[in-house]
């Protein structure tokens, strides 16, 4: 038998989640975000599924878009950070990409351009995230200059990004929306990320931009009814490869950070930080063994973890283990490691073989 650690990718779940996003924002077009290798799920395989469901795709940069075009993806693709230098515009034009304009430089490069075909642009405005985007006071001027550009196609979509939409009681989101809604009346617009799609219906506007939720995870700080039907796309799974009994006072793993308080049964699982499981995961982090919740016991190693399975039925060498995914939300594991599911997914290393479950025929 080969090493049992695998990342299963359920593309049927992906399709289901995209349909749920559509159902929650039925009047809006859907820009499916597949940046960072589709949050670690494989940009090409994800884009092939979403291409037929979404109205457009989004990535961070030209290189990510090139990968999709080279794989034959034909859907419109928005570059969320736009281009980083003027020379990239020729490739963006050739590949039919949509551009973000988020600063004066990017606009000036466009003004100097005589592209083969006019480029579609999205104008990004800062409403409080203070990371990217022009000031609200410059919206009118940028829009007018974009309209006057020979190289820019018709309607420019105005968009902004939320800083705290996962938190329903944070007033920043309502403030951002209020400022955004007052800008350039009548222009097509977009504000909603996954949290916006799930929990802020007034943010849906003309385009929604779901990312994280497409992969079956909720960005919300607290459980939310609209997120309960999401299905995780990635399940990181493995198996028990060793079992032992330890006596009270025995320490387990590097540094002996976990010490048995009672006679305990320890299962060793073939998955470690080399497989994307976070080394920072604390003692007690939940792990599913044979579908039952057990607790991480001892430090995460590169290739293995140790789990306290005392009192669990039917655990033996070869028993199935789920590190996250079906039955155990990646965000619950992430919280025990002081991070978020976004990070765990996007930094998945190539080591665990990807086992793809094909989508059922649409």
Residues 142-201 that bind ligand PLP (CB under 6 A): 161, 193-194
C-beta of 99: minimal distance to ligand PLP in Å?
A: 13
Contact between 216 and ligand PLP per CB under 6 A: no
Contact between 212 and ligand PLP per CB under 6 A: yes
Q: How far is CA 255 from CA 136, 148, 241, 246, 299, in A?
A: 53, 65, 21, 16, 8
Residue with tokens 């203070």: 130
Contact between 210 and ligand PLP per CB under 6 A: yes
For 65, list phi and psi in degrees, rounded to 5. Answer: -70, -40
Type and span of the H or E element at 134: strand 134-135
In residues, how long is the chain? 362
The contact pattern for ligand PLP, residues 243-262, with x = CB under 6 A and - = no contact, is --------------------
Largest CA distance in the chain: 77
Q: How far is CA 225 from CA 13, 154, 229, 234, 267, in A?
A: 18, 38, 8, 21, 35
C-beta of 245: minimal distance to ligand PLP in Å?
A: 44
Q: Report the residue closest to ligand PLP, judged by CB.
A: 211
Q: How far apart are CA 141 and CA 152, in angstroms?
A: 15
Applying CB under 6 A, which part among 10-18, 135-143, 208-216, 302-310 lies near ligand PLP? Answer: 208-216
Contact between 219 and ligand PLP per CB under 6 A: yes
Q: How far apart are CA 280 and CA 299, in angstroms?
A: 8
For 354, list phi and psi in degrees, rounded to 5. Answer: -85, 125
254 flagged as catalytic: yes
124 flagged as catalytic: no
Closer to ligand PLP by Cβ: residue 43 or 300: 43
Contact between 133 and ligand PLP per CB under 6 A: no
Applying CB under 6 A, which part among 16-24, 40-48, 104-112, 211-219 lies near ligand PLP? Answer: 211-219
Contact between 22 and ligand PLP per CB under 6 A: no
DSSP state of 221: S
**From candidates 7, 9, 28, 33, binder to ligand PLP by CB under 6 A:** 33
- Strand 157-159 relative to strand 121-126, pairing: parallel
Closer to ligand PLP by Cβ: residue 126 or 194: 194
SS3 state of residue 180: helix
For residue 97, give every residue at least 6 positions away whose Cβ sits within 8 Å of its Cβ, in sequence order, or none. Answer: 62, 65, 76, 77, 78, 79, 91, 119
116-142 CB burial, b ≥16 within 10 A, e <16: eeebbbbbbbbbbeeebbbebebbeeb
Applying CB under 6 A, which part among 42-50, 209-217, 220-228, 232-240 lies near ligand PLP? Answer: 209-217
| Number of residues near ligand PLP (by CB under 6 A) | 11
Closer to ligand PLP by Cβ: residue 44 or 163: 163
Q: How far apart are CA 222 and CA 198, in angstroms?
A: 12
Contact between 77 and ligand PLP per CB under 6 A: no
C-beta of 302: minimal distance to ligand PLP in Å?
A: 29
Query: Out of 29, 35, 39, 159, which one is annotated catalytic?
Result: 35
Contact between 205 and ligand PLP per CB under 6 A: no
CB 192 within 8 A of CB 205: yes
Query: Out of 159, 212, 215, 254, which one is annotated catalytic?
Result: 254
Closer to ligand PLP by Cβ: residue 42 or 210: 210
C-beta of 35: minimal distance to ligand PLP in Å?
A: 6
The total of other beta-carbon atoms located within 10 Å of residue 293's CB is 12
Closer to ligand PLP by Cβ: residue 176 or 310: 176
For 308, list phi and psi in degrees, rounded to 5. Answer: -80, 110
Contact between 211 and ligand PLP per CB under 6 A: yes
Binding-site ranges for ligand PLP (CB under 6 A):
33, 35, 80, 161, 193-194, 209-212, 219
**Catalytic residues, which ones?**
35, 254
């Amino acid at each position: 038998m080969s090493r049992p650690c695998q990342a299963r990718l359920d593309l049927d779940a992906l399709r289901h989640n995209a349909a749920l996003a559509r159902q929650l924002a039925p009047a809006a077009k859907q820009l499916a975000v597949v940046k960072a290798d589709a949050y670690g799920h494989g940009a090409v395989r994800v884009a092939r599924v979403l291409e037929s469901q979404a109205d457009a795709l989004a990535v961070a940069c030209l290189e990510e878009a090139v990968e999709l075009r080279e794989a034959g993806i034909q859907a419109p693709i928005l570059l969320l950070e736009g281009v980083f230098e003027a020379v990239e515009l020729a490739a963006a034009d050739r590949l039919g990409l949509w551009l973000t304009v988020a600063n004066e430089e990017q606009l000036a490069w466009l003004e100097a351009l005589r592209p083969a075909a006019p480029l579609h642009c999205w104008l990004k405005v800062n409403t409080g995230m203070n990371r990217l985007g022009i000031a609200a006071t410059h919206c009118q001027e940028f829009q007018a200059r974009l309209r006057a550009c020979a190289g820019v196609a018709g309607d420019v979509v105005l968009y902004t990004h939320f800083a705290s939409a996962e938190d329903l009681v944070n007033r920043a989101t309502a403030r951002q929306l209020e400022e955004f809604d007052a800008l350039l009346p009548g222009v097509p617009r977009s504000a909603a990320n996954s949290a916006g799609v799930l929990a802020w219906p007034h943010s849906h506007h003309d385009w929604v931009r779901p990312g994280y939720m497409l992969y079956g995870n909720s960005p919300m700080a607290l459980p939310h009814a609209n997120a309960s039907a999401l299905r995780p796309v990635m399940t990181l799974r493995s198996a028990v490869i060793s079992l032992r009994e330890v006596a009270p006072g025995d320490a387990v793993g590097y540094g002996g950070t976990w010490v048995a308080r009672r006679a305990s049964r320890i299962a060793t699982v073939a998955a470690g930080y080399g497989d994307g499981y976070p080394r920072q995961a604390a003692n007690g982090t939940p792990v599913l063994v044979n579908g039952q919740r057990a607790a991480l016991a001892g430090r995460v190693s590169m290739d293995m973890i140790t789990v306290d399975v005392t009192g669990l039925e039917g655990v033996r060498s070869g028993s199935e283990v789920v590190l996250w995914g079906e039955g155990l939300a990646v965000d619950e594991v992430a919280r025990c490691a002081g991070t978020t599911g976004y990070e765990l997914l996007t930094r998945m290393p190539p080591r665990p073989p990807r086992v793809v479950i094909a989508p059922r025929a649409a």
